[in-house]
Structure 1
Amino acid sequence: MVRISQETISRLCMLSCESVAERLGIEVRRHKALCFMHEDHHPSLSFFGENRERWNCFVCNKGGSAIDFVTEYTELNFVEACQWLCQTFGIPVENYFSAKSSIKTIHTKKRLKLEEEEKSFSKAVAQWILDNNSLTENGKRFLFGKRFLNTEVIKQLNIISIDDSKLLVEKIVKIFDSKVLLDSGFITVTNEKLYFRLFTPCLIFPYYDKEGNLVGIQSRYLGANVDAPRFQFISAQKTRLFNLPILNTMKFGEDLFISEGITDCLALLSSGKKAVAIPSATILPQFDLIKLRTYKLHIYPDQDNAGRLAYINLRKFFINHYTMLKAEQLPEGVKDYSEYYITTYGRQES
């Protein structure tokens, strides 16, 4: 009978889950990946810890160590997962198993997605959250006190914030059936208790299509928990551009800015520019991007590798559709447009 010593197990549990994921062929960016356990349109699987030795999906609430990752992703059992990790990362296993137990090939679990298991974005639940919450002092302090953003811009975009998730859950369970709430992706259950899935305190950014229909929600965490994801999406929603209704106010050939992330978009709008936003450097919603071909497009690329890669990929996309995307230059030492806005417009406001 194959045995794995507790010493070996402890050592395997200290392995970087990011490295394990990459060895299994999973793309990892900024310590996140698309979760393989459910239909995931936005990276909801996060790696954390000093050595990224833990992983967790903030949508399906599964997580654990490197061993757990291998058993979830592959058809290997616990002992086989330990064997594979030892072989892959060169960890000696003394004499607990023989060469015959060597794992040469692994197979990933078949995860068939049934049609009835697919969940669509719950507009009713999302709209209730927007209608029954406002911008709290915490949210105002971040948007206006720290970012100096235009109050009318925030109001027009219907941005709210949530501080007390327990109170929200107490109210929402009186309006919607528990199954509806669980299917919506906004609520999760742990030990038979319902919890708000988004980390709070947070800002809530609503996504609308060009016709003004609510199509998605994104949160921006405002708390101090370093392990909490800064941005979260509701998994069921499709990837869209932020602020699409602005296209209804524009003419052919007019200047339009594309930002990486919502906060840069809010800064651009507050400075009087017309702008839309891709959700992040790695999320390019081509279905909506194609709608921008008739405008004169600009971007202030974030001054990091992700920002430059986002610009390159966007530029390639628009060139393939006979449209140019012009990169505007930020002052030297300025990371992104939000920082530029704060150092210029913020000083004027103060």
Structure 2
Amino acid sequence: MDLLAQTRAIDIIRLVADLGYVLQENRKIICPFHAEKTPSLVVYPQTNSYHCFGCGRHGDVIHFYAGVANLEYTGAMHELAFNYLPDYKPELYKRGHLKKIQAAGPVKPEKMALPSDTNAYVYKPLHSAIYEDFQRVCETQPAGPVHEDARKYLTERGFSESTLRRFRILTVNDYQTAQAHLRRTYNLLDLQECGLFNEKGNLIFYRHPIVIPYFRKGRIVFLQGRVIGQPTETVSRYQFLSGVPVELFNADVMDVLKTGRTLYVTEGAFDCMTLMQEGMPAVSLGSATMFKREWMKLFRRFEICFYFDNDAAGQKAARDYSELFSHYRISTHVKMVKAGYKDVNDYFSKRE
């Protein structure tokens, strides 16, 4: 991916917060490009863009920063890359012309960690309230056939009831009721922006009633659905939030794990849950292809063990990530799933 594409992918919500602007209802802020008292600039996380309904200014994340910092587009791109992209080389631009991003708004923001800081990456929960309301609805629905089928399936996967409670695994027992509650409570645009609803206005977990919440600092920051049992040819095994970047699964374990301890990194959330059930601290990437480099600093305190699926893709990913992590001087090793088993969960649930 070239520098322009990488920079355009920098989270505009995070940039807005880092610059000191207060994100208000419906993702609005006071527009920095014209005088106003009522917020009229809307930020769109799905497209990583903005539009002001007061003055008409609009564009991508680079346009936004260029306007705030009074820079040309190219200069803004390099300054954003300098602040947010770990692999950016400052010598690519004019030496001495790149500055650390400072709050431009009148309100001093909560400290946010940039990739160039020594602090760890901080997630600012934008949609947690909606995710948690969805969780509450699922947990208060009467248990029915879907719940029973899901619990039977999860038990067959080797999970104890205490593990399922620990990770707050949900089931959408009554799809229509859950969908109606969310549509009645929230603006459809917000439901689509947070990834719970698709472009047709429907809750995405229709065929994926097992829902795995991703927590950070005790707040839900992401959701992942799964079919019960084996998927069909027309239905995928997993359903991730629509258009929303994945977060690390079980990242809170990194806050309590002592420096120097081994931290296992798995592909799937179920593999991570299995290792945690076995007393082995672990996090999950969600998929072998979903790693974000801004997570890198989170791993620096630990000895990293990649424990990926027993297939060509998993083995290649383990080699690639080992090389990447070594570039950041993070110690790693790879543990292979024993022959005859497809992944971590399969091995631990079927071993004799």
Structure 1 distance, partners of 2:350, 2:308, is 17
Show structure 1 runs of 5+ residues with no match: 1-38, 42-111
Partner SS, residue 259 of structure 2: coil
Structure 2 distance, partners of 1:152, 1:168, is 25
Structure 1 residue 253 displacement after superposition: 0.8
- 2:240 is aligned, of 233, 236, 241, to 233
| CA shift in 2, pair 1:189/1:280, >3 Å | closer
Show structure 2 runs of 5+ residues with no match: 1-8, 12-46, 52-58, 61-124
Structure 1 residue 201 displacement after superposition: 4.0
Partner SS, residue 298 of structure 1: strand
Kindly indicate whether the alpha-carbon contact (under 8 Å) linking 2:172 and 2:211 is maintained by their aligned counterparts in 1: yes
Structure 2 distance, partners of 1:293, 1:179, is 38
Aligned residues: CA RMSD: 2.9
Corresponding position: 1:181 with 2:191: yes
Residue in structure 2 matched with residue 115 of structure 1 by the alignment = 50
Written as runs of structure 1 = structure 2, the 5 A alignment for 1:134-213 is 134=139, 136-144=147-155, 146-188=156-198, 190=200, 194-209=201-216, 211-213=217-219
Corresponding position: 1:125 with 2:130: yes
Structure 1 distance, partners of 2:233, 2:173, is 17
Partner SS, residue 288 of structure 1: helix
Kindly indicate whether the alpha-carbon contact (under 8 Å) linking 1:207 and 1:241 is maintained by their aligned counterparts in 2: yes
Structure 1 residue 179 displacement after superposition: 3.6
Residue in structure 2 matched with residue 302 of structure 1 by the alignment = 309
Residue in structure 2 matched with residue 215 of structure 1 by the alignment = 221
Structure 2 distance, partners of 1:253, 1:275, is 14
Structure 2 distance, partners of 1:285, 1:228, is 27
Written as runs of structure 1 = structure 2, the 5 A alignment for 1:235-314 is 235-314=242-321
Structure 1 residue 243 displacement after superposition: 0.4
Deviation above 4 Å: which 4+ runs of structure 1?
Answer: none
Residue in structure 2 matched with residue 103 of structure 1 by the alignment = none
**Length-normalised TM-score, structure 2:** 0.59
Structure 1 distance, partners of 2:234, 2:178, is 23
| CA shift in 2, pair 1:113/1:154, >3 Å | closer
Structure 2 distance, partners of 1:167, 1:189, is 19
Kindly indicate whether the alpha-carbon contact (under 8 Å) linking 2:196 and 2:242 is maintained by their aligned counterparts in 1: no
Deviates more, 1:273-282 or 1:317-326: 317-326
Rg larger in structure:
1
Structure 1 residue 121 displacement after superposition: 5.5
Structure 2 distance, partners of 1:289, 1:170, is 39
Partner SS, residue 185 of structure 2: coil
Q: Read off the aligned partner of 1:216 and give its amino acid letter.
A: F
Partner SS, residue 239 of structure 1: coil
Structure 2 distance, partners of 1:230, 1:195, is 19
Partner SS, residue 184 of structure 2: coil
Written as runs of structure 1 = structure 2, the 5 A alignment for 1:21-170 is 114-116=49-51, 122-134=127-139, 136-144=147-155, 146-170=156-180
Residue deviations 1:148-204 (CA, integer Å, cap 9, x gap): 1132222122221114322211222232233433443312364xxx42123324211
Written as runs of structure 1 = structure 2, the 5 A alignment for 1:317-336 is 317-336=324-343
Residue in structure 1 matched with residue 83 of structure 2 by the alignment = none
Structure 1 residue 234 displacement after superposition: 1.6
Kindly indicate whether the alpha-carbon contact (under 8 Å) linking 2:194 and 2:244 is maintained by their aligned counterparts in 1: no
| Percent of residue pairs bearing the same amino acid type | 21
Alignment coverage as a number of residue pairs: 233
| CA shift in 2, pair 1:284/1:183, >3 Å | closer
